[in-house]
Structure 1
Amino acid sequence: MDLRLLSSFLAVVEEGHFKRAAARLFLSPPAVTQHIRQLESQFGTLLLHRNPVSPTRAGARLAGHARTLLAAANAAMDDLADVVREPRPDAPRPLRVGIMGHGSAELTPAAVNAFRRARPEVPVELRILDFTEHVTALTEDRVDVAFVRPAPDDPRVAVDVLTTEQRVVAVPAASALADARDEGVRMADIVDLPFVRVPGHTPSPFTDYLYFREVARRRGPDVALTPQDVLTGVVAGRTAGSGLKSFARYYAWPGAAFVPVLDAPWESSYLAVRADDANPEVTVFRALTTALAPELRPLIAQ
């Protein structure tokens, strides 16, 4: 028995009107009428009185069966949907790639695409990390590999150096410091900038990196968890931020200027993994990424 016909029949019974039933089902009235005629032809009896619309004795009995059949069909759909959403026992586990900010610039998408070509059967999930997840995303098993900066200071994490770049500060484009974006500034020039604040549980390696190892001591009014948070405060003229030189290519926001800090030590970005992770897909991703890094470093350091 066609459940579509039963659905149309039950809608007419419950609405008491062909047109309202059609609107409820997102069908045309002629289509609903045709469905009722098909049912009546199959059963060989009149199921609905037409004027006013009401079920006949046979129609009233069929309405009860129709409700049962349609409820069973909906229950079956719900049950199957749960099964479909469950991963198959033989399905490969996704590789979860954490990315802090813009990762390792052009190397990050190159590595992800290389892995997808090498292991097309393994799903890849990209997860954006905030400043506080510098280590915890890995140690708490939320990601399998992570593009971070600087190197986590944790024995549970192993790292590979990917890129090494000049440092920059992000300042409002209307500020006096922005005029030095071509020639650069020195760390003595940035001591009094109102740098963004980060939450207290942010790992110390990251706060040291963000504040040039505490050269920049003044803190602005804004708390930041992501580069977007940093730049929101910068373009509003409230705060300053810092990053690697490639940051400017990925976050070219109107109202923000990126100024090289000439005497700041250059910093690296890293691929981090759990030190004891025996997942072969992690090994493949790590090998591909470290093989690509030497090829892309000259481009990224420009």
Structure 2
Amino acid sequence: MDLRLLSSFLAVVEEGHFKRAAARLFLSPPAVTQHIRQLESELGTRLLHRNPVSPTRAGARLAGHARTLLAAANAAMDDMADVIQGPSADAPRPLRIGIMGHGSAELTPAAVNAFRRARPDVPVELRQLNFTEHVTALVEDRVDVAFVRPAPDDERIATDVLTTEQRIVAVPETSAIADARENGVRVADIIDLPFVRLPGHTPPVFTDYLYFNHEAQRRGPDFALTPQEVLTGVVAGRAAGSGLKSFARYYAWPGAVFVPVLDAPWESSYLAVRADDGNPEVKIFRALTVALAPELRPRIER
């Protein structure tokens, strides 16, 4: 498939207008129109409604693939430029991927697998991160990219929003709060729960996230650095925890109940990298992940 056709198509979808898309691509409107007609002819289906301009069902599906293919192509060009500058006799350095908890749900394994298909010669190492590490693991060069939440408050780190989800609270099934698993609760209903305690060196942004920005909450007796440690305290009836809605799909422990928090702001998961990192493999992984996010986001955020 001709990437020029995909580029014109995606520009029209994003601009919602043929003339603006042409200006963005430094092409003439007739050229863009011809690209769209050629693409529709190749695929045998209409991709765009013309008045007003909007994608058809097939066009919306193709737009997601187009973003992925174009991002991968751009990243590949960056990688080739690095190779052309001078070959290296060294074996490829592994791409070290840090994952906090369940990362960005289904998007995390999809991104890892897409990278492995795109760069089969590059080893991949997956490293589990605890609640204190979504800045230190990157700045101390222990990982190259990291799936984290919330966004690190550090100018040395660059982030991309991947998913945005409703918040939940994890409580023992014996808790009165558990009865609200279908209808949900409000922050005022949970501020006195015995939330797990975090080490003093935990980044403030993560502490605020876990405790719904209520620093004065009563804390339980248990310390936790990982979701598994949180749930150990929950099922023992000693603690409560919090997370994103997709947390419940990945940590369905007997004895733990996940209750939606209706008035808590929705929170995002992020891909984080070092802001000054010129590693072409990081650029490729970042481009693939960001391109895949719009395709998987509706399934994750439902």
TM-score, shorter chain, exceeding 0.5: yes
2:103 aligned residue = 103
2:295 aligned residue = 295
Q: Which has the larger radius of gyration?
A: 1
1:243 aligned residue = 243
2:126 aligned residue = 126
Task: Provide, for residues 34-72 of structure 1, a one-character-per-residue CA deviation record: whole Å limited to 9, x for no partner.
Answer: xxxxxxxxxxxxxxxxxxxxxxxxxxxxxxxxxxxxxxx
> SS of the counterpart of 1:92?
coil
1:199 aligned residue = 199
Uncovered stretches (5+) of structure 2, i.e. residues with no partner: 1-87
Offset, 1:214: 1.7
> Is 1:140 the counterpart of 2:119 in the alignment?
no
Are the aligned partners of 2:191 and 2:214 in contact in 1 as well (CA < 8 Å)?
A: no
Offset, 1:274: 0.1
Superposition TM-score, scaled by structure 1 size: 0.70
Offset, 1:211: 0.4
Task: Provide, for residues 73-128 of structure 1, a one-character-per-residue CA deviation record: whole Å limited to 9, x for no partner.
Answer: xxxxxxxxxxxxxxx95210000000000000000000000000000000000000
2:72 aligned residue = none
Once residues 207 and 91 of structure 1 are traced to their aligned partners in structure 2, the CA distance between those partners, rounded to angstroms, is 40
Q: In the alignment, residue 246 of structure 2 is paired with which amino acid?
A: S
Q: In the alignment, residue 241 of structure 2 is paired with which amino acid?
A: G
Superposition TM-score, scaled by structure 2 size: 0.70
Task: Provide, for residues 151-170 of structure 1, a one-character-per-residue CA deviation record: whole Å limited to 9, x for no partner.
Answer: 00000000000000000000
Moved over 6 A (4+): none
Farther off after superposition, 211-220 or 191-200: 211-220
Once residues 89 and 183 of structure 1 are traced to their aligned partners in structure 2, the CA distance between those partners, rounded to angstroms, is 60
Q: In the alignment, residue 257 of structure 1 is paired with which amino acid?
A: V
Q: In the alignment, residue 220 of structure 2 is paired with which amino acid?
A: G
Identity of aligned residues (%): 83
Q: In the alignment, residue 240 of structure 2 is paired with which amino acid?
A: A
Once residues 89 and 173 of structure 2 are traced to their aligned partners in structure 1, the CA distance between those partners, rounded to angstroms, is 54
Equivalence map 1:1-302=2 (5 Å): 89-214=89-214, 217-302=217-302
Are the aligned partners of 1:191 and 1:215 in contact in 2 as well (CA < 8 Å)?
A: no
> SS of the counterpart of 2:132?
helix
Are the aligned partners of 2:95 and 2:124 in contact in 1 as well (CA < 8 Å)?
A: yes
Q: In the alignment, residue 105 of structure 1 is paired with which amino acid?
A: A
RMSD: 1.1
Task: Specify whether residues 216 and 116 from structure 1 end up closer, same or farther in structure 2 by C-alpha distance, changes over 3 A only.
Answer: farther
The number of residues matched between the two structures is: 215
Task: Specify whether residues 216 and 236 from structure 1 end up closer, same or farther in structure 2 by C-alpha distance, changes over 3 A only.
Answer: farther
